[in-house]
Amino acid sequence: MPNQPNQDELFAAVDELLAGEPELPLPGERARLREAAGVTQARLAQVLRTSTQTVKNWENGRSEPRPPRREAYLRLLEGWAAKHPAEPATEPAPETFTSSVPAPEQPAPADGPAHDPVPVPASSLPPNRSAVAASRPAGASRTASASRRPARSKAAAPAADSRFPNGPLAVLDGDGTAYCLGGVLLDCPATTIAQLVEWTLQESGIGQARLHRHGKDSDPLVVLTQSAAVRFGLPERLEDRRDLRLAEDHPVVRQLARVKWKLTQRGFGPWPRIYRPAEAGRRQCVQLAILPWDALDIRAWGNVASLHPADLARVLGVFASRVFTPRGSTAVTGLELMTALRPPTRPVKDDTTGEWVSGPNPGALARPVDPAPPDAPQEHPVAQGWEGGFLDEEAYQWVRDPQLLSDEECLLPWAVGIDINTAFLAAAARLTVGLSQPVPVTAPVFDKKIPGTWLADLSHIEMDPRLPNPFTPSGLRPDGPGWYTTATLAYAEELGHEVRPIEAYLRQETGAYLDPWHDRLKDAYLTTTADMGIPVDKDTDPAAFLDAMALHKTYAAATGTRLETLRAALTELPASRADMSDEDLAALVRRHQQGAMVLSAIKSTVKGGIGKLRERPQGRHYKDGERWPALERPTWRPDIRAAVIAKARVNMHRKMAKLAALTGLYPLAVLSDCVAYASPGPSALDFLPTDGDGAPVYGTFRVGANPGLCKVEGVQEMAWAVDLMEQGYNPARHIKGGDAVMDEGE
């Protein structure tokens, strides 16, 4: 028999079993704690000496940390949990694009709206306004109760924040029906704009919680349809097409002033912001978006304004949930998102008084700073009298000299354009930028880790003329010394050239300011892409991705197309489902069309947000040398814009050079994030190289959904491309098709 253990040994073994291994919080809670602490996944990965993807896997439950990182991670999470305890809340059901009715319990009428994308069975159409009013649950009708709080329909999803049970926004129709995210219907009794603002703040239950613990909640957004605008006495269109605002003596503006509501400096335009001073720390502000005044730009949102209010609420609500509640144009929203994720200030305790005061938030842009003279646009005050040249870091606009086309290239049948997915967003990842003011330095030693603007001569560097020069947006060789960002000079060093700057303006306080912005927009982009059945895994077979993209484009372009015509088009595509029922096909078309609108808005938010960092003066009365309002915000940073664009251009050149070295293929033309190549077949896979296993070669263009990977932009005959090049036009601009040649100069 084995030796009998004594009591102390047994108790010790039992105590060890009871203690067990400390459990980590659930994956969702891990992400919440990190976000509450204002730490990015990239920063956490750096601290724990692992990869960003590993941290993402921990937070979505795909994997668990192992010793020794597990103990360190647990200790960090416990510390964060003590500082940021969870608030009682439930997660909302995920919103999708598959349903078109505001509430499942409400039967759709046979006469759907005329603007539905394709002829579909009546059962799948959204109800019209009169039908909504007739089928609204009894509890949602207006009552004479003291609170006048409208009841929600039974379709309402559980709220993520109890303060905003009805989501971030509402679309208000002319009959007083407010459509919210998740199929929620509200009754709005307001008949004036002032009453609408009061109702929104006190009764609607819409808004969005802050994205950072030191930030502010997003103000509720109410979108007014054309009939709603008429209901509130607004004109069908703005007569002032220059300033885009109502006159100060308009009855609506005067009525707001009488009841002490204020307007921001941009007045009552397509995106009016109506507010009163905060009371007891609580904001009193409502944002409106007026559809008949073109609040939703078709270039960013597509035909979203033509949707039924229920579908419009869904598209805008999904964008708001994944990105941010719209604050104006997508450019404004992109810039505001930066501030929401990196607030400029935080509470700090004054050592002298012991009071909590506002202080700078580490890693954020805390105060406005003037640019270095070469960074500034020429109308800026610091640029007046400056004769030392200016930074010219812009996206590529380059066409290869037709004389450099080989006979073999000209005989190839196709020209294929490939587009880099959200190239500026990919360039923003892990980009170190300056957070402080620029400091002039004479004869500096180049350091690729220091963000700044450097004066250097790169004109002596010989480059293959079949490739665009990497140092200029025109792709032409520099003609002497010029100002460059750190990314451009670092690439010159990477190519084996010695860099000797003449002078520089450097920023010593640095950080990856755009990382949270990048992470949120990337997640929104990939989530929306996956919603439409497009594979987003980096290991996806490129052919399967391109097939899924072809299907998506066919569905998204089906507006006004009859089902029979659409089915005929689908039979020619791989992996199509042309044999599905009319109802399922109509739902699939709607899903792809609405998803495409969200994707378009996300991409426009990226480009517009980066562009807004260098907002130019507006107004016919402006004179060079005067300051303009944008200069007074911390996010007016032309140097950061230049750094992003320079990195995107360098990334593209690196891939073009690698592809040329491996295959001997050279681009025909480049326009921003699109590059055109001669190809033996009508697909990018016909000319992009693969290794022995058929996998894409690292360092060249790779097909896929992720930011920085590429997809097919368009395909044309090679003779067409050569003809454009000989006329001086850029094939990359026009390869998607259509008669766009006359827009070359715009």
Higher pLDDT, 633 or 160: 633
Provide the pLDDT for residue 11.
63
The pairs formed by 382-391 with CB atoms below 8 angstroms and a separation of 24 or more are: 384/624, 384/625, 388/455, 389/455, 389/481, 389/482, 389/483, 390/483, 391/453, 391/483, 391/484, 391/485, 391/638, 391/639, 391/642
Query: With contact defined as beta carbons under 8 Å apart, do 608 and 538 qualify?
Result: no
Please say if the pLDDT value at position 432 is more than 70: yes
Q: For the chain, give the number of residues.
A: 746
Which range is least confidently modeled, 58-62, 299-303, 672-676? Answer: 58-62
In the predicted model, is pLDDT for residue 598 greater than 70? yes
What six digits make up the tokens of 506?
């450097």
**CB atoms closer than 10 angstroms to residue 670:** 27
pLDDT for the residue 8: 65
Amino acid letter for position 602: I
Summarize the confidence of residues 491-507 as an average pLDDT.
Answer: 97
Local confidence band at 14 (pLDDT 50, 70, 90 cut-offs): low
| Beta-sheet strands, E only, within 364-475 | 397-399, 414-420, 433-434, 439-442, 452-457
Whether 15 shows a pLDDT value over 80: the answer reads no
User: Predicted confidence band at 144 (pLDDT cuts at 50, 70, 90)?
Assistant: very low
pLDDT at 145: 29
Query: Using CA atoms, how far apart are residues 658 and 477, in angstroms rounded to an integer?
Result: 20
Residue 413: the pLDDT is 97
**pLDDT of 526 above 90:** yes
pLDDT band at 128 (very low <50, low <70, confident <90, very high): very low
Cβ atoms of 732 and 674 closer than 8 Å: yes
Q: DSSP state, 436?
A: S
Look at 18-27, 420-429, 533-542, 704-713 and tell me which has the smallest mean pLDDT. Answer: 18-27
pLDDT of residue 92: 42
What is the pLDDT, as a whole number, of residue 284?
Answer: 93
Map tokens 């919210």 to a residue: 180
Q: What is the pLDDT of residues 52-84, one digit of tens each?
A: 878 887 887 767 888 888 888 988 988 888 888
Q: Is the pTM of this model over 0.85?
A: no
pLDDT category, 37, cuts 50, 70, 90?
confident
Domain with CATH 1.10.260 in the chain: 17-83
Whether the CA torsion 501, 504, 508, 514 is positive or negative: it is negative
CATH topology of domain 17-83: 434 Repressor (Amino-terminal Domain) (1.10.260)
Q: In what order do the strands lie in the sheet with 674-679?
A: 397-399, 669-671, 674-679, 414-420, 710-717
pLDDT band at 5 (very low <50, low <70, confident <90, very high): low
Q: Which two tokens stand for residue 285?
A: 């502000």
Residue pointed to by tokens 């501030």: 339
